[in-house]
């Protein structure tokens, strides 16, 4: 054990002597967590710029424009009476939508001609377009209902009769799990999970590849010729650092007031398994590829699309089967699926058993493969030393 602790001191020195490794492992989760937290802090999209082309210029069109101005998600950036060069302006001004009220709009409504309001959506940004579309429909449908009810009242119907005639049934939406539609609560957990996986990947990619490059691996083999021993030696510093980093990451949920049940046993198990699976895959690449740059580049290829492939933002059912198969080999896919069950749905261990099983399989495969390959390299190094 004394020899193990002596070598462990050297490992700590080698870790802290690598400024890039320290910056990635200790700085990236905090920096990116705070950065993404502030990006999504507003929690919902507001003040999307729209243009109203009011070709009618009537009291009714004025009332419609007032209703748009009262909607917090929309900002009436411009009101005009002719379209002008709206298509040329849209890329520059980034209008989310153009609403056109046709000439004779109020008169056509009064005479039951059912005029058409044209809405041109800027679909370059799907999130903005969907938000604009939803709120524009909300404003126009509310006014449409009001106009219809008022018309029925003028025909002699009572207010109650007018509403009943217009509404054949009512719809009541009850929003569950993130009922406010808070975008920060939706995005931040997934981003932090993907960041932590990537940080662990990149840190572990250096542990053995660096030793192969600078010749320190030969010194380690002379001390101990067991792959178990060397893996434990390399993993121990990170197993000590990671609880601290996860604690810091958890504080970001509190700092940004993200409502998620993360302080519980199932989440502790998930975080532990994600860490071990990421350590196993990262170290495996470090053993297989004895070059720091190549090992980190290949792991970046895996980790960069991991968040998109995980099914966290785009449903897995809509992802082609062969791509979904690739996603199943990435730890964060299973972590995020289970995270949502625990943090938002209040799930327990039984609910996340499928994800736990997959993470355990990834851990087992990566560590067994690493043990075998590392032992082969140890045996080759022994022969070279003996020769």
Mean pLDDT of the chain: 83
What's the rounded Cα separation, in Å, for the pair 18 and 206?
A: 10
The architecture CATH gives domain 48-166: 3-Layer(aba) Sandwich (3.40)
What's the rounded Cα separation, in Å, for the pair 346 and 340?
A: 9
Predicted local distance difference test score (pLDDT) of residue 265:
94
E strand residue ranges, the chain? 48-54, 74-80, 97-101, 118-121
SS3 assignment, position 77: strand
What's the rounded Cα separation, in Å, for the pair 204 and 296?
A: 9
CA dihedral of 367, 373, 377, 382, whole degrees rounded to 10? 80
CB 75 within 8 A of CB 104: no
Predicted local distance difference test score (pLDDT) of residue 361:
96
Can you list the residues of the chain whose pLDDT is less than 70?
42-43, 148-176, 179-180, 385-387
> Which pairs with CB-CB distance under 8 Å and at least 24 residues apart come from 111-117?
none
CB 334 within 8 A of CB 316: no
Predicted local distance difference test score (pLDDT) of residue 358:
95
Classify residue 317 by its DSSP letter. Answer: G
CB 66 within 8 A of CB 22: no
Predicted local distance difference test score (pLDDT) of residue 171:
53
| pLDDT tens, position by position, 75-111 | 999 888 888 777 778 777 888 888 888 898 888 877 8
Q: What is the DSSP track for 123-145?
A: TTSHHHHHHHHHHHHHHHHHHHH
| pLDDT tens, position by position, 188-212 | 888 888 889 998 998 888 888 888 8
Predicted local distance difference test score (pLDDT) of residue 157:
63
Residues of the chain with CATH 3.40.1710.10: 48-166
Q: Give the helix, strand, coil percentages of the chain, each rounded to 5.
A: 65, 5, 25
């Amino acid at each position: 054990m004394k020899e193990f602790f002596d070598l462990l001191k050297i490992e700590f020195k080698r870790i802290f002597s690598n400024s890039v490794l320290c910056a990635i492992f200790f700085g990236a989760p905090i920096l990116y967590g705070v950065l993404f937290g502030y990006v999504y802090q507003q929690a919902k999209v507001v003040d999307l710029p729209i243009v109203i082309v009011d070709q009618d210029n009537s009291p009714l069109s004025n009332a419609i424009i007032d209703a748009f101005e009262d909607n917090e998600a929309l900002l009436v950036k411009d009101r005009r009476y002719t379209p002008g060069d709206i298509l040329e302006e849209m890329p520059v001004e980034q209008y989310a939508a153009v609403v056109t009220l046709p000439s004779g709009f109020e008169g056509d409504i009064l005479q039951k001609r059912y005029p058409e309001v044209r809405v041109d959506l800027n679909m370059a940004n799907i999130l903005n377009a969907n938000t604009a579309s939803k709120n524009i429909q909300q404003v126009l449908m509310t006014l449409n209902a009001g106009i219809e009810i008022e018309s029925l009242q003028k025909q002699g119907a009572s207010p109650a009769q007018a509403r009943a005639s217009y509404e054949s049934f009512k719809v009541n939406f009850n929003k569950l799990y993130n009922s406010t539609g808070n975008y920060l609560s939706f995005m931040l957990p997934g981003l932090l999970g993907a960041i932590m996986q990537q940080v662990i990947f990149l840190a572990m990619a250096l542990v053995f590849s660096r030793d192969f490059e600078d010749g320190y691996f030969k010194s380690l083999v002379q001390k101990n010729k067991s792959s178990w021993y060397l893996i434990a030696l390399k993993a121990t510093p990170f197993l000590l650092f990671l609880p601290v980093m996860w604690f810091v990451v958890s504080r970001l949920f509190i700092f940004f007031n993200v409502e998620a049940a993360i302080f519980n046993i199932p989440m502790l198990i998930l975080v532990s398994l994600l860490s071990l699976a990421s350590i196993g895959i990262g170290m495996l690449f470090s053993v297989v590829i004895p070059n720091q740059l190549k090992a980190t580049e290949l792991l970046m290829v895996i980790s960069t699309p991991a968040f998109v492939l995980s099914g966290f933002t785009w449903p897995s059912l809509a992802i082609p089967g062969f791509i979904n198969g690739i996603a199943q080999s990435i730890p964060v896919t299973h972590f995020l699926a289970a995270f949502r069950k625990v943090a938002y749905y209040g799930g327990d261990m039984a609910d996340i058993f499928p994800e736990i099983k997959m993470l355990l399989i990834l851990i087992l495969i990566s560590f067994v493969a690493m043990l075998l390959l590392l032992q082969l390299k140890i045996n080759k190094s022994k022969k070279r030393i003996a020769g």
